[in-house]
Amino acid sequence: MEQLVFELAAPEPPSFANFLAGRNAEVVDALLAFVNGGSETGMLIWGGPGVGKTHLARAAVALAQERGLGARMFAHPRDIDDEALASLSASAEQIIAVDGIDLADEAAAGRLFTLYNAIKERQARLIATSRTPLAALSLREDLRTRLGWGLVYELLALEDDAKPAALAVYARSRGIVLSDDVIEYLLRHGRRDMPSLLATLAALDRQSLATKRPITVPLLKGWLQRELEWKPAAADTPHGA
């Protein structure tokens, strides 16, 4: 079968509840504690594509806002412009998240350095994500040193053999009845990164509620044919990474 690429509308907002921690329970616990307070100024989360770095950063900002803390997310280091720095210096925001600091050019790294110092001065907290570890970040040394003063965690991908059980636990926790054959079909024919799998599961749940039908392989196949105009290929092809 050809690999299916799921492009689904209205995904659930990132939260700690819809993140499958797998081997990352310690990272999640540390991030929750970091949002709730503590003496550290910064927390760096690094890992490969699709492991959930952005998800956790957004979840942390959302949780902080739910708890009445000022919080802001920068989707890219270049978004930290002079206007943003001025706005932050005049605000009471306590949690600032910057996604993809490994993408910062020299100018953005300079503003990130200024941002870090401002955050430390007013005892706020910085969450940063990166695709590369701290030692390999091509940033100015004084910035790398400051990032190293805080918490540094690697986020690990969920292993393939753990995904069926993780999906089953996630489904049960949300009241979704999901059979083993549906899980197997999703893992065989869909993208295997967890954001795509969870988005697919959420869309199937909406389809099930709308049609008042249980989630089965036939329902999944019919939904794919209608929504994605998917047709089976002549032979199986390898799954994506």
Q: Are strands 95-98 and 71-74 parallel, antiparallel or unpaired?
A: parallel
Q: Give residue 54's identity as a one-letter amino acid code.
A: T
DSSP one-letter string for 162-204: GHHHHHHHHHHHTT----HHHHHHHHHHB--SHHHHHHHHHHH
Q: What is the mean pLDDT of residues 149-159?
A: 93
Asked whether the beta carbons of 1 and 188 are under 8 A apart, the reply is: yes
Distances (CA, A) of 130 to 13, 106, 137, 211: 21, 16, 8, 41
Token match 């036939």: residue?
Answer: 218
Q: Nearest 5 degrees, angle CA 153-CA 136-CA 108? A: 90
pLDDT category at 199 given cuts 50, 70, 90 is confident
Strand partners, 95: 71, 125
Question: Which tokens hold the place of 203?
Answer: 């869309």
Longest dimension (CA), the chain: 62
Query: What is the C-alpha R_g of the chain?
Result: 20
Contact partners, residue 173, CB within 8 Å, separation at least 6 = none
pTM above 0.85, yes or no: no
Asked whether the beta carbons of 173 and 205 are under 8 A apart, the reply is: no
Sign of torsion, CA 88 145 34 98?
positive
Name which residue leads in pLDDT, 174 or 68: 68
| C-alpha closest to that of 204 among 238, 170, 154 | 170
The matching CATH number, chosen from 3.30.70.600, 3.40.50.2300, 3.40.50.300, 3.40.50.360, for 22-154 is 3.40.50.300
Asked whether the beta carbons of 50 and 135 are under 8 A apart, the reply is: no
C-alpha 68 chain-centroid distance: 22
Return the DSSP state at 237: -
Domain boundaries, the chain: 22-154, 160-228
pLDDT at 137: 93
pLDDT at 111 over 60: yes
SS3 state of residue 147: helix
Percent of the chain residues topping a pLDDT of 70: 87
Most confident option among 95-99, 162-166, 214-218: 95-99
Q: What is the mean pLDDT of residues 141-163?
A: 93
Mean of the per-residue pLDDT values of the chain:
84
pLDDT by residue (tens digit) across 125-134?
A: 999 999 999 9
User: Which CATH number does 160-228 carry?
Assistant: 1.10.8.60
pLDDT at 74: 97
